[in-house]
Structure 1
Amino acid sequence: MDPIGYERNGETSGERLDRHWSELLQELRLVQTGTQILFAFLLGIAFQNQFHTTDGFTHAVYACTIVAAALAVGLFLAPVAFHRFLYRQGRRDQLVTIADHLARGGMACLVVSICGGLLIALDVVLPRLAAAAVVGGVLLWFLAFWLILPAYVRQKR
């Protein structure tokens, strides 16, 4: 049985690593595009005239949000660079493990950037405390479906 928890009849260790690498790349293709679009959108905010009239809180949230988005982009793209350096080195096991950690880090940064972008937008239309409460709820929603539910399902096995 492989670490993911399901068995493939006749699958060698190398085939399993290749499958895991392919699955990870498919997942990264999905999140890379959305993260890059979010990052591009966030870059444009600083150049809007209205943004310059906002307060220090908004500027601080924006700075944290855009840095988190940049880190997410970097972490989601890192497995590709990592693969280039390890190509044909016979280290697929390390590549898959490290790329998994990079993707998890990218997802954490992505959640921060999504919540930060949401806070910037909601702060315009809601009282700040209400905007922060909604963002807290969204963060809990992400935690529930990205961490708690998978942990629950994994534990039930």
Structure 2
Amino acid sequence: MAALGPRDTSRGRHETPEERADRRWNELLQEVRVIQTGVQILFAFLLTVVFTPRFATLPTTDKTIYVVTVLLGAATTGALIGTVTFHRLVAGHRLKPETVLWASRLALLGIVLLLATVASALLLILRIALHDSAVPWVVAGMVAWFMVCWFALPAWILHRYSSKE
């Protein structure tokens, strides 16, 4: 099969821009599949809470946190599913590299929204479970942990090993 464009040989892979876009798209889809499962489970749980007898007895603050959490969960779901619908609507217009770039950005937005959703859910659950002034500190600690795992560590690895090239 003839190459569709010049091959980039300056890095480890010998692929055309179109081949790179195809590979990156497949990788992105796999990543979204993994994260979407967790998001769907969390969102489904959140949707059921309002129908429990205990919900009616919650103070207004906790109900507000719940509503914010559900909205964040919906926004997270929208951003992550948006990566696929973005591709579906743009497919066939010879815009694969651009599609991958924008879908990747949408997936990253979904991850940031997931962080906010998890933080909000933790706040709600721990407020109800512990009734303790330490709850905001525990939630802040967990958010910091997620930020280290999800953002700081990959950024550090990227900085550390990219500088060797």
TM over 0.5: yes
TM-score (norm: length of structure 1): 0.92
Q: CA deviation at 1:121?
A: 1.4
Tell which structure's C-alpha radius of gyration is larger.
Answer: 2
User: Out of 7, 11, 25, which is 2:12 matched to?
Assistant: 7
1:7, 1:77 → 2: CA distance?
31
Structure 1 runs of 4+ off > 4 angstroms?
Answer: none
Q: Hey, which of these two has a bigger chunk of helix by percent?
A: 1
The count of corresponding residues between Structure 1 and Structure 2 is 153
- Identify the residue that residue 31 of structure 1 maps to in structure 2: 35
**What do the CA deviations read for 1:62-116 (whole angstroms, capped 9, x no partner)?**
1111111100000000021111111111000111010011001101111111111
2:124, 2:149 → 1: CA distance?
23
Identity, % of aligned positions:
37
Query: What does residue range 119-130 of structure 1 map to in structure 2 within 5 Å?
Result: 119-130=123-134
Letter in 1 for 2:159: Q
- Identify the residue that residue 111 of structure 1 maps to in structure 2: 115
2:157, 2:88 → 1: CA distance?
34
Secondary structure of 2:93's counterpart equals coil
**What do the CA deviations read for 1:116-137 (whole angstroms, capped 9, x no partner)?**
1112111122134222111110
1:145, 1:76 → 2: CA distance?
19
User: Out of 87, 94, 101, which is 2:91 matched to?
Assistant: 87
Q: CA deviation at 1:61?
A: 1.0
Secondary structure of 1:100's counterpart equals helix
Gaps of 5+ in 1: none
2:25–2:100 contact (8 Å) kept in structure 1: yes
1:80, 1:119 → 2: CA distance?
31
Query: What does residue range 46-57 of structure 1 map to in structure 2 within 5 Å?
Result: 46-57=50-61
- Identify the residue that residue 67 of structure 2 maps to in structure 1: 63
Pick which of 49-58 and 119-128 moved more.
119-128
2:108, 2:101 → 1: CA distance?
11
Q: CA deviation at 1:50?
A: 0.7
Letter in 2 for 1:7: G
Pick which of 128-137 and 105-114 moved more.
128-137
Query: Which has the bigger relative contact order, CA under 8 A and spacing at least 6?
Result: 1
Q: Note the aligned Cα RMSD (angstroms).
A: 1.5
TM-score (norm: length of structure 2): 0.88
2:17–2:97 contact (8 Å) kept in structure 1: no
1:22, 1:129 → 2: CA distance?
45
